[in-house]
Structure 1
Amino acid sequence: MENKNKSILIVLGHPNPNSYCAKLAETYLESAKDSGFEVNLLKLKDLQFDYNLNFGYDKSVKQELEPDILLSQSLILKADHLVFVYPSWWASMPALLKAWIDRVFLPGFAFAYQKHSPFPKQFLRGKTARIIITMDAPTWYYKWFNRSPGVQILKHGTLEFCGVGKVKVTYLDQIRFKKQKQLEKWIETIKQLGAKGK
């Protein structure tokens, strides 16, 4: 039996509120709620924040954290499971999602560098994640020719780097060629993931 006390945060990285990604995120949200999970949905397009990490990690200059960045951090800390929904654009991710990651996953919040080690202190340990990525390319092409750059960045370079474990990926490929029947079938797949909180 699934743990109904689990808290889930869905991060929608597509800027278009009418996108297929938006429908996937809303489907997961409603299904997880119906199953009794505590669920929050962050629509990144609705957040107000400076997209630039203006001074990098320079500690001598402080960049203020906007309310929506602080909200994002609090929801991440609260969540047991993180779900990212976004399209593959140029084999990576929308600028909106990358900017949010830059501003939110900061040293002192998500990780801390260690003086004599290449490995960081990981502050997001104990959490799990699911990446739901849509693309026009076939999955095999994205994995073997492009080498999954967007997934590599988010899964390994960000989430696992900060301690998130068991990061699973759902690939929904060749979107522009799919008929409505297949798109609806994928909606059902996401509904099942939401129902199980996976």
Structure 2
Amino acid sequence: MNILLIHAHPESRSLNGALKDFAVQRLQSAGHHVQLSDLYGMQWKAIVDAADTTQRLSTTRFDVAMESRHAFENGFQSEDITREQEKLLWADAVIFQFPLWWYSMPAILKGWIDRVYAFGFAYGVGEHSVTHWGDRFGEGTLAGKRAMLMVTAGGWESHYGPRGINGPINDMLYPIQHGILFYPGFDVLPPFVVYRTGSTDESRFARICDELGQRLDTLFSADPIAFRPQNKGDYDIPALTLRSDILPGQTGLSIHLSGRNDRNLK
């Protein structure tokens, strides 16, 4: 299978760097074809600006969405954007690897998303009507591919638990897993998270690699997170709210996960 690993850490000798090297070796040893986008190594340009297109739609006002669509549809994108889109289309699975900085991904990775997820490629796809609100949240250009986050965090696991000060890790990662990965169609696997990175010695590193190796070995067999598809009947369209007869009275991020009790609670 074809696997793209997007790596966002500035130090190759870091824990992230070592885990990246381990992951590439493990996947290749299993017979997979691997491409690596080392964003810092590539000196990836993180900001969206007029240089992202070789031929502007308008020279008087830079409308990000409209310029993005114009460039994508007409072959005017900068070469670095096109190369990364080609990698995404090539891949059967994508691993996004990064340290958790200020409760989110590093700016360079967000900039990769901002630029590579062009209008017409990752969003603005499909029919918009009173019954179908675009090909997104379970549909879209990247449907049928798998994605997984590989994240490191300095805090203890309990800090990211159900009653932890930071909030549950899955809530913290929800904007990425649901909004960036599931939105354009990825089947999103549960994240692989390493906590207390500052206390990693050789023996702990070996245990982390064992755990990561098991996750990589099941990349194409593990069950994805059960996010609800947008256009399969669970949501009222065009309001895009969960139907009132599904989990009535309940709110919060968890209602957007399908479960066996949905129909019992109607």
Normalising by structure 1, report the TM-score.
0.85
Q: How does 1:1-198 map to 2 (within 5 A)?
A: 6-54=1-49, 55-59=63-67, 65-113=77-125, 114-116=127-129, 119-121=133-135, 122-144=140-162, 145-147=165-167, 148=169, 151-197=173-219
- Say whether the 8 Å CA contact 1:125–1:163 is kept in structure 2: yes
Residue 48 (structure 1) shift:
4.6
d(CA) in 2 for partners of 1:164, 1:81: 9
Pairwise CA RMSD of aligned residues?
A: 2.4
After TM superposition, the structure 1 stretch with the greater mean CA deviation from structure 2, 62-71 or 18-27, is: 62-71
Residue 197 (structure 1) shift:
4.2
d(CA) in 2 for partners of 1:62, 1:47: 26
After TM superposition, the structure 1 stretch with the greater mean CA deviation from structure 2, 135-144 or 58-67, is: 58-67
- Say whether the 8 Å CA contact 2:11–2:17 is kept in structure 1: yes
After TM superposition, the structure 1 stretch with the greater mean CA deviation from structure 2, 157-166 or 140-149, is: 140-149
Equivalent pairs, count: 193
- Say whether the 8 Å CA contact 2:153–2:195 is kept in structure 1: yes
Q: What is the identity, as a one-letter code, of the residue corresponding to 2:48? A: L
d(CA) in 2 for partners of 1:120, 1:71: 25
Q: What is the identity, as a one-letter code, of the residue corresponding to 1:116? A: S
Q: 1:138 to 1:60 in 2, by over 3 A?
A: closer
The runs of 5 or more residues in structure 1 that have no matched partner are: 1-5
- List, as ranges, runs of 4+ consecutive aligned residues in structure 1 with deviation greater than 6 Å: none
Residue 60 (structure 1) shift:
8.6
Normalising by structure 2, report the TM-score.
0.65
> Matched residue of 2:40: which SS?
helix
Whichever structure has more strand as a proportion of its residues is 1
Rg: which structure is higher? 2
Give % identity.
25
Residue 196 (structure 1) shift:
4.5
After TM superposition, the structure 1 stretch with the greater mean CA deviation from structure 2, 110-119 or 84-93, is: 110-119
d(CA) in 2 for partners of 1:187, 1:61: 41
d(CA) in 1 for partners of 2:117, 2:194: 26
The runs of 5 or more residues in structure 2 that have no matched partner are: 50-62, 221-266
